[in-house]
Amino acid sequence: MPTDALPILALLFLIVGALYASVGHAGASGYLAVMALMSVEALVMRPTALAINILVALIAFVQFARAGHFSWRLFWPFALGSVPAAFIGGRVHIPPEHLRIAIGIVLLLTAARMAWVALRPPKSKAAPTPPALPAALAVGGVLGLVAGITGTGGGIFLSPLMLLCNWADTKRTAATASLFIMLNSAAGLAGLVTTGWKPPPSLALLAAAACLGGLLGSYLGSRRATPRALNLALAAVLLIAGLKLVLN
């Protein structure tokens, strides 16, 4: 990672950490987008995003859990399916050019998800109903594998699915997604460590910046609704970064 870009990357990671943590996410797709825009090598992007994800997701989870939004009964089936799959995904070796495309596709899907959330018309719903055990295990397994391979925590896909299927309300979804992201990121990073990855010196500065943003964003987000403009702004950044990776 180029040292002359570290100050800018740290500032952007702080902003991304704050924005994502406000909705219970750790920001992996945002960190990937920032690194893509700064032309960081694809093989560096995945472990960096996973490592920082663990810290910021933990911060977000603590804030949402302290606010009373976490349900262990809702969470554990997703985790049971996802954690082993994320470990396997972290061990999967993908050539750099293919990894860039895979990450780019994840960013484009994330951008579409955020735009959908921001633009969909509000509508009344019945009381949330947790998913059946087989469905939660299957969803967790698929998202865990995607998380480990691409360097995301999987929560960016779990959250819209939970809301779309009416498995939980917004705050409980955020609490569930934050711990889901933390465990998947840890499992994915563990898989990378077994292949020889070691943290670079630059990781400490980026992690500190993202954690500072995560503290602020999760504190506010656990007590306030997500602004519509936030999802649109993040969607635009992810769209640009995703197209850059796929087209290059």
Q: What share of the chain is helix, strand, coil (3-state, %, to 5)?
A: 75, 0, 25
79: its two tokens: 């985790």
Question: pLDDT tens digit string along 48-101?
Answer: 988 999 999 999 999 889 988 899 999 999 999 999 998 998 888 777 678 778
- Residue 132 three-state SS: coil
Is the pLDDT confidence value at 174 over 80? yes
The pLDDT score that the predictor gives to residue 180 is 93
Distance (Å, whole) CA 98 – CA 100:
5
Q: What is the pLDDT of residue 2?
A: 63
Q: What is the mean pLDDT of residues 152-175?
A: 85
Please give the model's pTM, rounded to 2 decimal places: 0.81
DSSP state of 121: P
Tell me the C-alpha distance between 123 and 117, whole Å: 12
Element (H, E) at 213: helix 202-221
Place of tokens 């602020």: 216
Contact 127, 84 (CB under 8 A): no
The answer to whether residues 211 and 53 touch, using CB atoms and an 8 Å cutoff, is: no
Structure confidence at residue 100 (pLDDT) = 75
Both tokens of 187, joined, read 């499992």
3-16 pLDDT tens trace: 778 899 999 999 99
pLDDT of residue 121: 67
Cα 213 to Cα 82: distance, rounded to the nearest angstrom: 27
The per-residue pLDDT for 61 is 94
Percentage of the chain lying above the pLDDT 70 cut: 92
End-to-end CA distance of the chain: 19
Would you say residue 238 has pLDDT above 80?
A: no
> pLDDT for 198-220, tens place per residue?
888 889 999 999 999 999 988 88
How far apart CA 156 and CA 33 sit, in angstroms, is 14
